[in-house]
Chain A
Amino acid sequence: MSTHLLLSMPILWPLLGVALCCVFWQRPRAQRIVSLAASAGLLLSSLALLAATRDGTVPATQFGGWAAPFGISFVGDMLSAAMVVITGLMAVAVGIYGLVDDAEAREASLYHPLYQGLLLGVTGAFLTGDIFNLYVWFEVMLISSFGLLALGGTREQLDAGVKYVTLNLVATTLFLICVAFLYGLTGSLNMADIARVLPTVENQGLVTTIAVLFLVAFGSKAAVFPLFFWLPAAYHTASAPIVAIFAALLTKVGVYAILRSFTLIFDLSLGFTASIIGVVAALTMVTGVLGAAAHFDVRKILSFHIISQIGYMLLGIAVATPLAIGGAILYVIHHIVVKANLFLLAGVINRAGGSFELKQVGGLYRTLPWLGVLFLIPALSLAGLPPLSGFWSKFVVVKASLDAGHVVLAGTALAVGVLTLYSMLKIWNEAFWKAAPAESTAATQRWLAEPGTRRTMLTPIVLLAAVTLTIGLMAEPFVAFSLRAGEQLLDKSAYIEAVLGADAQRTAEARP
């Protein structure tokens, strides 16, 4: 397959999905087929991209026949390819889960087109090599997520939507202003070109200022410590498949943007950005996990854990050694799978136990022991117990920070891991272990009487649990891949050469 096709297919599938779902807007059944087919196409084409990038080559293409840095570049390095594959996996898994029997209500209000639109924005953001184009993909993702969040139109969702929309709009507008500043400084929007030109800019103090502004903009997207308030205000109001895809992808696009901009564009070894990220990472981990400890609604607990886990990824970025960046990448991959799975399981707990509120659920282990096992796999993986995927990703990140001498950060990470285990065991004790309240038993009986629903909801959960187990038990290829992806990120010459050609590095000069 040509490079151009290789890089555009992962975007064309969801784009086709959006278009066809809108065409069939009055035919939910056709929309389902289109949506699932587009998600499967996304997964397959992303696997092709991964196969092409696995040996360290960086395919790059320019749209519209304009040579870089004038045309819009699309670049697929190992990190981008891995992120797109995991997006495809989530698209399929959550797509299947989204077909459960309450799907009709969602489908009446454009669920499938918005779902594909979200995937389109996320994939585009992972693959683009142009910073203004990244802004556009952010907005595509954002408007779809606005629609998905407000889908049911309940009081809670409207209230959550107001906060979610306001804070996210401020963050993306700030991102746009940062892009303008960066453009004013370098005269370019192509990320490879900016990376080449930026070290030659005279006013390096201004570069650090812009770097921190970008950190604020992307940090709000990634829900880091002082900027996360939109997340716990909104996530628990959406229905289970929607919140699962949000939890899997939205914040991780922010993390990806931080990872990309602070390896390619800005130099973490200059100035004090790395120490800011380190402090933010520790505070994010701690506030997230404490927020989770205070709640008794499964979805709220899990929402706060997203924030806490983002801290681990930032920790890897802050330490910034090849091992740490690789660890952060592995953490993102592991976290997406595990977190989406936990939110899918929260939906099952609600069905089989009758409520999201832990006080009103119970006894699920007695009646549904396999559901308990399915819950424990992602839950213990989130807490970082061996031999699950969370252990390896935490291990690499913590080892990297100890190697670099960041003992406090490593200690915080380990302590937060224990508190994570506490939250997961709280869900286990309340929902699975304690005696069942009467309403909960009734809900369990209804659940047992609906084999079709059970199959639709549990298939993706089993699939994702299998992925978690695979990463955990056969960690070597995944760890090796992440470490190589991290090295590739830190050695930016491959990326720049792929976009601009081999002799680009020599002719660097700012042209404001």
Chain B
Amino acid sequence: MEPVFALAFGVLVAASAYLVMSRNVLRIVLGLLLLGNAANLSLFLAGRMGSRTPPLVPDGAEALVGGGNPLPQALILTAIVISFALIAFTVILFESAHRRFDTLDTEELRAAEPRAAKAAAPSPPPSHSPAPPVTEPAR
């Protein structure tokens, strides 16, 4: 079973890397979401998957024998809550950026770092005039 899960982890990370590197902020959010789930899966895998017995110590027994590992579940639960909050914030932030800039393209989000060299260099050479914004092909 483990190789399948390990493969699924790899596919999730690859897919999220692809999405996060996209220029579309919506895809970036989806990529972050997938990456969070990949992390949860890795925690689950790290706890070993052999046992299907609930981790309960029976009456009268001193120690747990053969039960599943309860720790990854606690860790994943924590991680899910945290990533839920962070993704919720991210969605709100990206949506307000979308409303303000009226674009989903990260290349056009340049208010904090203007494209023109006039802020960076004291006297830009004449050939280096600010490039016109790259026009997107119609979607």
Contact = CB atoms under 8 A, between A and B. Distances in A.
B90 A165 contact: yes
A408 interface: no
B119 A183 contact: no
A184 B48 CA distance: 8
B42 A156 contact: no
A150 B25 CA distance: 17
Contacts of A132: 75, 78
Instruction: State the main secondary structure of chain A at its contact with B.
Output: helix
Interface stretch (B28-36, B55-63, B125-133): B28-36
Contact of B42 (A139, A162, A177): A177
A156 B36 CA distance: 27
B112 A170 contact: no
A180 B112 contact: no
A477 interface: no
B85 A183 contact: no
Contact of B112 (A153, A179, A233): A233
A183 B43 CA distance: 8
B109 interface: yes
A169 B32 contact: yes
Give the interface residue-count category, chain B: 35 or more
A176 B111 CA distance: 32
Nearest to A167: B20
Interface in B42-71: 42-43, 45-48, 71
B32 A295 contact: no
A173 B89 contact: no
Interface string B110-135: 11110000011110000000000000
A109 to B, nearest CB: 13
Given A180-B43, A181-B46, A162 B25 contact: yes
A195 interface: no
Nearest to A357: B119
Interface residues of A, number: 42
B94 A176 contact: no
B18 interface: no
Contacts of A146: 86, 89, 93
A234 B112 contact: yes
Contacts of A236: 112
Nearest to B85: A143
A139 B86 contact: yes
A165 B94 CA distance: 10
Contact of A153 (B13, B47, B96, B111): B96
Given A143-B86, A159-B97, 19 more contacts: A135-B79, A139-B86, A142-B86, A159-B112, A165-B93, A166-B90, A169-B86, A173-B32, A173-B35, A173-B38, A176-B43, A180-B42, A180-B75, A183-B43, A184-B46, A189-B75, A233-B112, A295-B120, A297-B119
Interface of A: 132, 135-136, 139, 142-143, 146-147, 150, 153, 155-163, 165-166, 169-170, 173, 176-177, 179-181, 183-184, 189, 232-234, 236-237, 294-297, 512
21 contacts: A132-B78, A136-B78, A139-B82, A146-B93, A158-B93, A158-B96, A158-B100, A159-B97, A159-B101, A159-B112, A160-B112, A162-B97, A162-B106, A173-B38, A176-B43, A177-B13, A177-B38, A183-B43, A184-B47, A184-B48, A296-B119
